[in-house]
């Protein structure tokens, strides 16, 4: 027995989408590398001195020496899934925040305490932009 649908409501119909097995969703390409990398601080400026505050951070291009100074690579990959049939691997990027903050301080010419006072949303934006430099090109 079919109940009549009330006015204004629509019956739920299953949605079937045919996706070819070979097509994979394209991941967004990493941002083009341009150094120095300048990131606008949208939430809270950083105090550089008693009288001067910064509304943007400028990062120079990292070197191997910078990685050694901060204690190693701040980005690590963790395999979270492996599909044996399609031989597809899914990775998760793990950020070591202590290393990343030390590295950001080195690359921007600021001190660690100044970077630590950064708004968490601005910090996340900086990490998102910098992480591509520390990950392999091919996964």
Q: What is the pLDDT of residue 87?
A: 87
Q: What is the pLDDT of residue 136?
A: 86
Q: What is the pLDDT of residue 137?
A: 78
* Helix axes 97-108 and 120-130, enclosed angle (nearest 10): 80
Q: What is the pLDDT of residue 34?
A: 82
Per-residue pLDDT of the chain (139 residues; tens, 9 = 90+): 566 656 555 555 555 555 555 555 555 565 566 889 999 999 999 999 899 999 999 999 999 999 999 999 999 999 998 888 888 889 999 999 999 999 999 999 999 999 999 999 999 999 999 998 998 876 6
Residue 46 makes CB contacts below 8 A (sequence gap 6+) with 53, 54, 57, 110, 114, 115, 117, 118
d(CA 131, CA 30): 10
Q: What is the pLDDT of residue 71?
A: 95
Asked if 77 and 91 touch (Cβ cutoff 8 Å), the reply is yes
Q: What is the pLDDT of residue 28?
A: 57
d(CA 69, CA 54): 24
Q: Which pTM value belongs to this model?
A: 0.72
Q: What is the pLDDT of residue 84?
A: 87
Output the six-digit token pair for 31. Answer: 């941002």
């Amino acid at each position: 027995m079919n109940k009549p649908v009330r006015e204004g409501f629509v019956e739920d119909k299953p949605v079937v989408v045919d996706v070819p097995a070979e097509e994979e969703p394209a991941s967004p390409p990493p941002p083009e590398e341009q150094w120095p990398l300048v990131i606008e601080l949208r939430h809270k400026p950083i105090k550089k001195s008693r009288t001067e505050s910064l509304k943007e951070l400028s990062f120079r291009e990292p070197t191997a020496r910078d990685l050694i100074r901060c204690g190693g690579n701040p980005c690590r990959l963790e395999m979270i899934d492996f599909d044996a049939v399609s031989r597809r691997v899914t990775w998760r990027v793990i950020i070591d925040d202590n290393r990343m903050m030390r590295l950001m301080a080195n690359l921007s010419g600021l001190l660690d305490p100044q970077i630590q006072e950064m708004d968490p949303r601005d910090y996340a934006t900086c990490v998102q932009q910098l992480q591509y430099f520390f990950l392999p090109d091919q996964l």
